[in-house]
Structure 1
Amino acid sequence: MATITFENISKKFGNNEVLKNLSLVVEDGECFTLLGPSGCGKTVLLRLLAGFDVPDSGRILIDDHVVTDPDKHIDIQPDQRDLGVVFQDYAVWPHMTVFDNIAYPLKLKKIDKDTMNEQVMEIVDLVNLTGLEQRLPSQLSGGQQQRVALARALIAKPSLMLLDEPLNNLDANLREEMRFEIKELQKKLGITILYVTHDQEIALAISDRLAIMDKEGNIRQIGTPWEIYEKSANEMVFKFMGLANFLPIRYEQDHHLVGHGQQQLIWDNLPAESGKVGCRPSDIILSKTGQGLQGKVVRASFLGAVMDYMVEVDGVTLRTEVSTNTALQNDLMFKDDEPCIVNFHELLWFPDNAETVRS
């Protein structure tokens, strides 16, 4: 296992400053994900850790060992950093069998044949490839090829694994299957994983903690999946992590008024100022009677397991979903243009002209 420390990392490519004074600590034994839009610098950070590129300034440490420090001309070679790397495109040798692909790093180390066979078969079993050892990559599915790449990275028993969008080329069902397998592998082996992706669902599913990066390469929040999704620290994170509803609030004469109308939002601990509240579709409670904000269902869509509703409240549209069974059992099957009552499970407050958030 290994602790990763980035200290004030900066990196430019030409005039494009991708990373600027970025600092981050990944704890020993955790699965940590760098999540952000394409081009935000997350893969650059992984490549700097792997030793494929060198930062312009700053230090990188694995445990207490400095592996990169341009000021002191320290740049430990990738094969000396005790890490495994898995890329998006598998990068398995097409002319080698599964066994030979996995065994390749051990052959380079000149491990004796009996020890090599034992270690390879142990990893083959670990990644669920038993019985496929003599097949060529062309005879495997995409998920099986990705398991070969994982096994080859694990065979040298690294203390640290770097995964760069490894599931992007798989179909939806395989992605779901493999993300759980990666998490199980991490639990079994207890190694530190740094995972890079722009896929929010994968990041939430596998991470112990994650860092959200913006387009400028800044880290906007670090936290557990629940903290990131339910307690977003700012508007950028809230928008990036999934479908987000925003309801503008005007503060007039000691009242918080919704949208363009005169309905008052009653909610504990709202500040005495204008701003907006944010919520997820799952935070909205629809009903046909009772107290709450008066709205109208402007679009009702049957999606099988769920009813998807677009609701208008004083000129502002909100999206919500209700399971079809719940809707049928609780008289929540709305039609287009039908009036409704809107309440909320949870709201986050976003001040005007600021990125700070309050719950």
Structure 2
Amino acid sequence: MSGITGQFAGTAAIELRALAFSYGETAILRNIGLDLERGRTLALLGPSGCGKTTLLRLLAGLLAPTIGTISIGGRLMADANARLFVPPERRGLGMVFQDYALWPHMSVAGNVAFPLEMAGLGRAEIEHRVMAVLDRVGLAPLAARGPGDLSGGQQQRVAIARAIVGEPGLLLFDEPLSNLDRELREALAVDLAALLSDLGVSAVYVTHDQGEAFTIADQVAVMRGGAIIQCAEPQTLVSAPASVEVAEFLKLGTVVEAERQADGAWQLCGTGIHLAPGSEGPAAAARARIMLGRKAIDVLAPEAADANGQVVRALFRGDSYALSVALGEGAARVVVETVSGLRRTVGEKVGLAIEPGGLRWFPAN
């Protein structure tokens, strides 16, 4: 069997330039620019209605862009200005659906062989390709079984085998794990990440689940309101979110307003917390927004801290407690998130200290 990504001659799996899509007067996608290197997996991550499924459908050739261009594997697939549009069957793609879409009356081998039969290949070539790809995904011994005899993870591998048997340059995943319970979804995400890495195939994976995206993808595009608001490796998204919107969507911590005092020091509005001297904020700005990551806040005894709060929620996480702590009163009340190695109870008074190195600064509203 020839290489899975053999149809791609260039180094880029995907190149999107100034891509936009509208339904009449309603803009669904706005100014999408994106590059994905060959052999890497991109996750499109965002809430329902953000445009991620529409972007996947544009890549698949199920929709044509209103503005911009789409190139896959170095080939121009769509150009709105030039009225160029390559249909799905000529894009060299494989697709894995939400429910795997396996035919229950066919064997594993029959499911995988189906696209080759539709392409008119000879029986010997089909058998060779099917067994080769089943071997690659670890299912060759199960070729004669029916999908109903397989576990969820094995069914997922059948769907992937069917998607790659035609040797596509790009795999598209449309929330394939969203119908499963969380424990199984987490286990299958780990398996899928390992499989994609072993195959070396380029892939785009649509999901609304942050853990899934971070487990599977080399690169994550966070989408909101039809635009990509940050595209980076998972580690970069966590350590350096580009905006408050990214930080809040990924639930990286609490974002609070801060104001500069007369002496140049910063105070977190409504909390009574003063940041340590030397904390860096926006130059010459009087106000800013600060993300307090959970590990940026230390929980102390009330008498040992400059600011005190009240625990309003405490969840045991096995080796620590996830705490929500209310600071201030009335309209100025702020609730921050942190962790504690010691048991804390709702209503308990605690002291808080801020580690300046764990802060992320953003411009004020």
C-alpha spacing 1:102/1:304, structure 2 compared with 1 (3 Å)? same
Deviations 1:41-84 (A, max 9, x none): 11111111111111122211123321112333322121211111
C-alpha spacing 1:239/1:159, structure 2 compared with 1 (3 Å)? same
| Aligned residue number for residue 316 of structure 2 | 303
In structure 2, what is the Cα distance between the partners aligned to 1:130 and 1:159? 23
**Aligned residue pair count:** 344
**SS class of match (1:233):** coil
**SS class of match (1:152):** helix
In structure 2, what is the Cα distance between the partners aligned to 1:75 and 1:258? 53
Say which of 241, 266, 280 aligns to 1:269: 280
Say which of 267, 276, 281 aligns to 1:257: 267
C-alpha spacing 1:341/1:100, structure 2 compared with 1 (3 Å)? same
In structure 2, what is the Cα distance between the partners aligned to 1:339 and 1:20? 46
Contact 1:295 1:311 in 2 (8 A): no
Contact 2:73 2:169 in 1 (8 A): no
- Does 105-114 or 19-28 show the bigger shift? 105-114
In structure 2, what is the Cα distance between the partners aligned to 1:81 and 1:49? 9
In structure 2, what is the Cα distance between the partners aligned to 1:163 and 1:193? 8
| Aligned residue number for residue 39 of structure 1 | 49
Say which of 329, 348, 351 aligns to 2:360: 348
In structure 1, what is the Cα distance between the partners aligned to 2:270 and 2:170? 53
Q: Displacement, 1:225?
A: 0.5
Say which of 294, 297, 317 aligns to 1:284: 297
| Aligned residue number for residue 214 of structure 1 | 224
In structure 1, what is the Cα distance between the partners aligned to 2:265 and 2:241? 26
Contact 1:297 1:309 in 2 (8 A): no
The residue correspondences of 1:128-139 to structure 2 (distance < 5 A) are 128-139=138-149
C-alpha spacing 1:132/1:352, structure 2 compared with 1 (3 Å)? same
Q: What letter corresponds to residue 275 of structure 1 in structure 2?
A: A
C-alpha spacing 1:14/1:54, structure 2 compared with 1 (3 Å)? same
**SS class of match (1:201):** helix
Say which of 257, 265, 270 aligns to 1:248: 257
**SS class of match (1:99):** helix
Say which of 224, 232, 237 aligns to 2:246: 237
Query: Do structure 1's residue 202 and structure 2's residue 212 form an aligned pair?
Result: yes
Contact 2:314 2:344 in 1 (8 A): no
- Does 187-196 or 71-80 show the bigger shift? 71-80
In structure 1, what is the Cα distance between the partners aligned to 2:275 and 2:172? 47
Q: What letter corresponds to residue 32 of structure 1 in structure 2?
A: L
| Aligned residue number for residue 321 of structure 1 | 339
Contact 1:286 1:343 in 2 (8 A): no
In structure 1, what is the Cα distance between the partners aligned to 2:274 and 2:296? 18
Say which of 60, 65, 69 aligns to 1:55: 65
Contact 1:234 1:350 in 2 (8 A): yes
**SS class of match (2:178):** coil
**SS class of match (2:312):** strand
Q: What letter corresponds to residue 360 of structure 2 in structure 1?
A: L
Say which of 163, 174, 179 aligns to 1:164: 174
Q: Displacement, 1:125?
A: 3.0
Deviations 1:124-147 (A, max 9, x none): 233333433222233333333222
In structure 2, what is the Cα distance between the partners aligned to 1:110 and 1:261? 70
Q: Which runs of 5+ in 1 are unaligned?
A: 354-359
**SS class of match (1:71):** coil
C-alpha spacing 1:95/1:284, structure 2 compared with 1 (3 Å)? same
**SS class of match (1:5):** strand
C-alpha spacing 1:268/1:257, structure 2 compared with 1 (3 Å)? closer
Query: What's the % identity of the aligned pairs?
Result: 34
The residue correspondences of 1:61-76 to structure 2 (distance < 5 A) are 61-76=71-86
Q: Could you tell me the TM-score, scaled by structure 1's length?
A: 0.88
| Aligned residue number for residue 19 of structure 2 | 9
